[in-house]
Amino acid sequence: MTSLICGSLAFDTIMSFEGRFSEALLADQLHKINVAFLVPAMRREFGGCAGNIAFNLKLLGGEPLIMATLGQDGASYREHLDRLQISQRCIKTVDDSYTAQAFITTDVAGNQITAFHPGAMSFAHQNRVSDAGKVKLAIVAPDGRDSMLQHAQQCAEANVPFIFDPGQGLPMFSGDELKNLIELATYVAVNDYEAELLVERTGMNLAAIAERVSALVVTRGEQGAEVFAGNNYLAIPCVPVDRVADPTGCGDAFRAGMLYGLANDFDWETTARLSSLMGSIKIAHQGPQNHDLSRAEIEDRFQQAFGYRF
């Protein structure tokens, strides 16, 4: 049961700031901001929404198919995907661009400031959903603006149910474009900040958005997640962790749980619980693709958290 993952592949340069951003920012001086954050720790990771989602879906035993672009420096990412045994047949290389790169600084409170160079991601619209062949469902995750618009339209035209996951790409779209993307989508997944922005941009409240899709999922960090599915409302708790190491990629891990649950026809309570668990597993590890649990270990953790096996 192949899941098509339309989104970015990127290299993440992740830095840790040992203070709080709020202590360095003056609310009445934001119009002339000029700050520097000392980051004693820095590392480079494989990232991008599509890569992160596919990594976590593979851990669960799913069949991810990435549709994305890499640049002239993407050989190491391809080697990484080979090691993971994740298909690359829908990944194009753009020879005159660099692979997309994110520079992420996280403070001690888990807040993040990110600078992003799109590079080859800007050419992701050259990929077409029809190139993927038969898939059970898809996700349209943050990517180039044109590619997100086109891949959503192509999924709808091909009758492929898909999750619209605007993520940090949400500000690229007008209210009317977002309304259209919601109408095309089968499911919508956003975090709490994105939910507020989506409401502001579209002029629709969460209930109105939920009426237009099979399910609306809103993640709320340590407060868990909410699922609006038809007339049903579910509040899903966050799975406790021993330590919070790095929030980078937690949303992508959550969405991998969604894809796996939907592909296997789980009910929404089990799907959202699995999604919550995947986010908690990720947050206890540095980097978006460094946690290495077997399917059996994930099942054991699910049973410990919720009292049954999925």
Secondary structure (DSSP) of 73-138: T-HHHHHHHHHHT-B-TTEEE-TTSPPEEEEEEE-TTS-EEEEEE-GGGGGGGGS-GGGG-S-SEE
Q: Per the domain annotation, does 275 fall within a domain?
A: yes
CA angle 252, 257, 262 (to 5 degrees): 125
Q: Measuring CA to CA, which residue among 58, 48, 53 is closest to residue 13?
A: 48
- Residues 175-231 have pLDDT tens digits of 999 999 999 999 999 999 999 999 999 999 999 999 999 999 999 999 999 999 999
pLDDT at position 246: 85
CATH of the domain at 78: 3.40.1190.20
Q: Per the domain annotation, does 34 fall within a domain?
A: no
Owning domain of residue 203: 2-8+48-98+126-306
How confident is the chain (310 residues) per 10-residue block, as mean pLDDT? 96 91 82 88 93 98 98 98 98 97 89 91 97 97 97 98 96 98 98 98 97 98 95 95 90 98 97 98 94 96 97
pLDDT at position 242: 86
Q: Per the domain annotation, does 36 fall within a domain?
A: no
pLDDT at position 102: 87
CB proximity list for 140: less than 8 A, separation 6 or greater: 6, 7, 148, 151, 152, 155, 162, 163, 164, 165, 181, 185
Q: Per the domain annotation, does 13 fall within a domain?
A: no
Q: Per the domain annotation, does 73 fall within a domain?
A: yes
Q: Per the domain annotation, does 106 fall within a domain?
A: no
pLDDT at position 66: 98
pLDDT at position 25: 83
- Is 96 labeled as catalytic in the residue annotation? no
Give SS3 for 206: helix
Q: Per the domain annotation, does 17 fall within a domain?
A: no
In the set 28, 252, 265, 267, the catalytic residue is 252
Number of domains observed in the structure of the chain: 1
Q: Per the domain annotation, does 187 fall within a domain?
A: yes
Count of all residues that appear for the chain in the document = 310
pTM for the model: 0.91
Give the alpha-carbon dihedral of 257, 64, 97, 156, to 10 degrees: -80
- Residues 277-301 have pLDDT tens digits of 999 999 999 889 999 999 999 999 9
